[in-house]
Structure 1
């Protein structure tokens, strides 16, 4: 009888130790999983911020290019001659020499 009690007690202790070890391993696994999720979320947020910054920069550059194309500036050269950015005379510059010729 004493042998059966000691055997049963030994088995119970073994089961309890195994259950304790499994509980510790499960807690460690859940902790590792939470750390992996947190790391993934941080990386996703970082990459999203970089993408949004890159897109905002590209949008700003496109807007500045569109604004530059929309309003070409004229440059005044030697009196009344006006030349646009493309190097061609403007309508006012073309008409100015004719008007002076009539005055003389």
Structure 2
């Protein structure tokens, strides 16, 4: 099996819309994304200044990401986010990872 891939979406948003973007991402993750083939995990991060939300999703393969993006149910959440914020999605490969040592 190929190494997992990471989908990162950095979303620029007006501070008053940050919670709405978070709510859309959480709903989409719970109802659609987490049930898609190849899904591993998702992390949603909100900036302290309320101007960004970062969506980090791990997948088994890039094909799984593309299939999810083509799914109309998933695309609906992307469209809802795009209506109130500016998204900058990208697909990444992990090249190094460090964890705390005991």
Q: Structure 2 length as normaliser, TM-score?
A: 0.19
Greater Rg, structure 1 or structure 2? 1
Higher helix share: 1
Q: Which has the higher contact order (CA 8 A, sep 6+)?
A: 2
Higher strand share: 2
Q: Structure 1 length as normaliser, TM-score?
A: 0.19
